[in-house]
Copies of this chain bind each other. A is one copy, B any other.
Amino acid sequence: MGPGPSEVPPSVLRIMSAPTLGHLDPEFLQVMDEIADMLRVIFGTKNRLTMPMSGTGSAGMETLFVNLLQPGARVLIGVNGVFGTRMAEVARRCGAEVITAETEWGRVFSPEDLAAKTRGQRFDVIALVHAETSTGAAQPLEGMRAVADTCGALLLTDCVTSLGGMPVELDHYGVDAAYSGTQKCLSCPPGLAPVSLSARAEAVMAKRNQPVQSWYLDLGLIAKYWGGERAYHHTAPVNQLYGLHEALRLVLEEGLEARYARHAENGQALERGLQTLGLSLWVEVEHRLTQLTSVRLPKGFDDMRGRHFLLENFGIEVGGGLGPMAGQVWRIGLMGHGSQRSNVELCLRGVAASMAEQGLPVPKMEVL
């Protein structure tokens, strides 16, 4: 119940034990095609260039920047947590000029915030974190396409913690490039990074005059393996892909709307329970992720002692705070398969017990 990896359903774990097929075996090629098709549905896109990269979510982030940027490119990045900070670092390593829009960790950006930064200048990419795993904030995407259009930029989003847990809808919001990970709301073990790029993004890549600085993440080469030609690039992580195939199948079997509703319901139940325990939440209610909740630790509460207690006595792992939030919050995930009413209740019991163990006053359990 931390900020990922999330709990993995038994059938996903089981299928990862299937015999390893060759990466060019006809049966395996069909698995790949089905993965790409299912990802398109969950990303809410018709983008041809949609597939999982052979690395974790951070490799997905790097994939987009190395393919879309050349030295001297100008990038505007919204920084309100660890992953905006990381995007800025990765973009700089591509030789880009990085301008950041910044706000407090846990807050989000309005289109006006970004427009105030772009001021009509040309940008190559505007990048935002859709669901900030380090804070629990949900970044609205409405209106961001228009800002990108005023400066000729591609719109890029980090969907690591959003994909499969809340609507992503790339085409609806006009997102050109998105990356995700498998270990959050898709409930697949970590190791793959789904990405999707629009025709506009493909056109930008086609106009490059320098090779992509990463051979391993070069979409021009990888698309030939995932596309019709099946040209060997690298040996695909076959068993991981079995797991992703089953995880995506489960997402679609449940149905996107039902799945998002489940995440919202359980997340809100957790929020209410924490508040009943007298705790307050880091993010304002209108921008709160329901799959990941940052709760402020009460005064006098020892963070590490509490996390250790929770792991030892309840078998629950939660995440600590990062950066300016270190020591001030716990990050509790209810992601994918882990978003279950029973987990909400177990977690609330565990939090209450850990407060009691540290001598803090705790409302009677009946109130929960």
The verdict on A275 contacting chain B, using a C-beta distance below 8 Å, is: no
A13, A16, A62, A243 pick with most chain B CB within 10 angstroms: A16
Contact A58 B234 (CB under 8 A): yes
> Nearest chain-B residue to A133 (Cβ)?
B235
Interface of A is mostly: loop
Contact A23 B235 (CB under 8 A): no
Please name all residues of chain B whose beta carbon is closer than 8 Å to the beta carbon of A183 when the two chains form the complex.
Answer: 20, 235
The verdict on A4 contacting chain B, using a C-beta distance below 8 Å, is: yes
A5, A13, A14 pick with most chain B CB within 10 angstroms: A5
Please name all residues of chain B whose beta carbon is closer than 8 Å to the beta carbon of A322 when the two chains form the complex.
Answer: 232
Please name all residues of chain B whose beta carbon is closer than 8 Å to the beta carbon of A234 when the two chains form the complex.
Answer: 56-59
Please name all residues of chain B whose beta carbon is closer than 8 Å to the beta carbon of A18 when the two chains form the complex.
Answer: 13
- Min Cβ gap A211→B in Å is 6
Cα A216 to Cα B193 in complex, Å, equals 12
Sort A-B residue pairs by CB-CB distance and give the 7 closest, nearest first. A191-B237, A58-B234, A189-B239, A13-B17, A190-B235, A17-B17, A62-B216
List chain A positions with a Cβ less than 8 A from chain B: 2, 4-5, 7-8, 13-14, 16-23, 25, 54-59, 61-62, 66, 86, 89-90, 92-94, 181, 183, 189-191, 211-216, 232-240, 243, 317, 322
